[in-house]
Structure 1
Amino acid sequence: MTLDWKIELIAIPVTDVDRAKDFYTRIGFHADHDHVVSDDLRFVQLTPPGSACSIVLGTGITEMAPGSQKGVQIVVPDADEAREHLLAQGVSTGEVDEQQWGRFVYFSDPDGNEWALQELPDYAAGAQA
């Protein structure tokens, strides 16, 4: 038997579900689901363009404190283009951070959850699985 493990959903803790949904869709995430199950449970699933992994936010989703999710990383084809896209949407970022293992752009959502966008180095392109 071959194990095939896939990360498909990551919880993002937020204070205001509608504000967070607006933020993520504004930067290009696709709104997959927004379902109110009960007064205590609202499930909002969003997927970055081209990703097999989605995020979930809402009420009753996670016990993590809003803004406590740090270090979720998305691979992008071009860090400069991704940074310009974020800036055009009013999202604050630093400059592109050049490292041997890639080029990075960092940003936070309105609650302070921290994200990294990584452009893989050319030598890693053939190593992706």
Structure 2
Amino acid sequence: MDLKLEFIVLPVSDVDRARSFYEAAGFRLDVDQTFSEDYRLVHLTPPGSECSIMFGKGLTSAAPGSAQGLYLVVDDIEKARAELVGRGVEVSEIFHDGGGLLHHGHDADGVVHRGQGQERLAGPHPDRASYASYVTFRDPDGNGWGLQEVKQRAPGR
């Protein structure tokens, strides 16, 4: 059985502001439809992704900004960061933890890559190892995103 993740619902407080942010970040607008005064659906897709995001009015009871640890995988962390900055997105500096795939802690940014007690190290991983270099950003509500550089996927991925 194939189980493909199709979309993630993001809790936002201002639908138009969120739409503007994600479009500015390069996400493709797929749908923006108002069904009633209490129900609006906005559906966007990150470039190259098969999984989309949805937000709107009447979609979720989750608190705006409560979605954390959302990852976008890129093959060049420096280029991806520069593009987001060029699009006006406030993005962290590039960092690494030296361990990558084997670490599963959480940090204050909601990033799920680090082991407990590890500090972020400035810059990309020295060997540019897959799953080891990151940047983070937040949407206007505080939903937390990470970009993770993957040059070669782990077996079975």
Q: With the length of structure 1 as denominator, give the TM-score of the two structures.
A: 0.91
- Percentage identity across aligned positions? 46
Which residue does 2:103 correspond to in 1?
none
Which residue does 2:53 correspond to in 1?
55
Deviation at 1:52, TM superposition (A): 0.5
Structure 2 residue runs without a partner (length 5+): 101-131
Which residue does 1:7 correspond to in 2?
5
Counterpart secondary structure, 2:69: strand
Counterpart secondary structure, 1:86: helix
Which residue does 2:84 correspond to in 1?
86
Which residue does 1:33 correspond to in 2?
31
Instruction: Give 4+ residue runs of structure 1 displaced > 4 Å after superposition.
Output: none
Is 1:74 aligned with 2:72? yes
In structure 1, distance between residues paired with 2:72 and 2:53: 12
The answer to whether the 8 A contact 2:25-2:88 is kept is no
List per-residue Cα deviations over 1:77-97 (Å, max 9, x = no partner).
111111111111222122111
Counterpart of 1:115, as a letter, is W
List per-residue Cα deviations over 1:17-36 (Å, max 9, x = no partner).
01100100111100000011
Structure 1 residue runs without a partner (length 5+): none
Which residue does 2:139 correspond to in 1?
109
Q: With the length of structure 2 as denominator, give the TM-score of the two structures.
A: 0.75
Describe the shift of the 1:74–1:24 C-alpha distance in structure 2 as closer, same or farther (beyond 3 A).
same
What is the root-mean-square deviation of aligned Cα atoms in Å?
Answer: 1.3
